[in-house]
Structure 1
């Protein structure tokens, strides 16, 4: 993927997009890190707590889902393309409870698919991609995992101009 012309502006736009979706905004995600093939988010436990004083499973699932969605969206923009990105399917495994702020990171499941994403979108007007995400614990453990498939569908001819 090409480098985003203004990565800070792209991250600010992604954060604004998250804030514009009420269910996502309620979780209060913050972008911690974005680099080639990785997006890491943090959300406060206080905004995502359940009746057992640990993170709500729906928040873990949602945050991993939007981290992967955000990663695809950033890469599509970096390639100079305009597309709507949708989650097509996903599978979550809950491994441990989270009693701290939630940190999730999304990465691509397959490097070859990642490399082909923009070209496929340019040529076919749509592209599918598999991603994975993890909920990380401060002690280095993993609390939950997500594997999902996303689809990018070009709009207005695809190019951002």
Structure 2
């Protein structure tokens, strides 16, 4: 993965939030509107020896936040981004390092995100994220709506 100023800023932002830093996320890939994060199982383990459900939700949530942040940064925009609502489904336990992919739910909505923010000072977009298993399965899914509010 090529490191850009936007990716470096996102990694620094994650490192500056103690609950997020404790999960030890790393940016694995940013390509074609999809962001992949990883986190070690050892930092996110529960009493059953699998990944803590809160870590799965948190990692998927910050991946969604990250994709909105990167998309707006690439458009030259600075905004405060908030998760407005989300729905999570836990499908299988995770007994390995966590891998999360996040992408836009609707490509047309994603394409208009920067324009809506420029015109209205506020924009909303839906993201889908999933926790992937090494065998190709999906352990958890998240569908969330994020709101961006232009700074300044």
TM-based fold match above 0.5 = yes
* CA–CA separation in structure 2 for the residues paired with 1:9 and 1:124: 26
- Which 4+ runs in 1 deviate beyond 2 A? none
TM-score by length of 2: 0.97
1:56 alignment counterpart: 52
* CA–CA separation in structure 2 for the residues paired with 1:115 and 1:36: 12
RMSD between superposed Cα atoms in Å:
1.0
* CA–CA separation in structure 1 for the residues paired with 2:74 and 2:4: 12
State the Cα distance separating 1:93 from its structure 2 match.
Answer: 0.1
1:17 and 2:13 aligned: yes
The one of 113, 118, 123 equivalent to 1:117 is 113
2:97 alignment counterpart: 101
* Number of aligned positions between the proteins: 151
* CA–CA separation in structure 2 for the residues paired with 1:123 and 1:144: 35
State the Cα distance separating 1:49 from its structure 2 match.
Answer: 0.0
1:144 alignment counterpart: 140
* CA–CA separation in structure 1 for the residues paired with 2:113 and 2:86: 19
State the Cα distance separating 1:147 from its structure 2 match.
Answer: 0.1
The one of 33, 40, 43 equivalent to 1:44 is 40
2:128 alignment counterpart: 132
TM-score by length of 1: 0.92
2:149 alignment counterpart: 153
* CA–CA separation in structure 2 for the residues paired with 1:117 and 1:33: 21
State the Cα distance separating 1:113 from its structure 2 match.
Answer: 0.3
* CA–CA separation in structure 1 for the residues paired with 2:93 and 2:3: 34
Gaps in structure 1 of 5+ consecutive residues: 1-5, 157-161
Gaps in structure 2 of 5+ consecutive residues: none
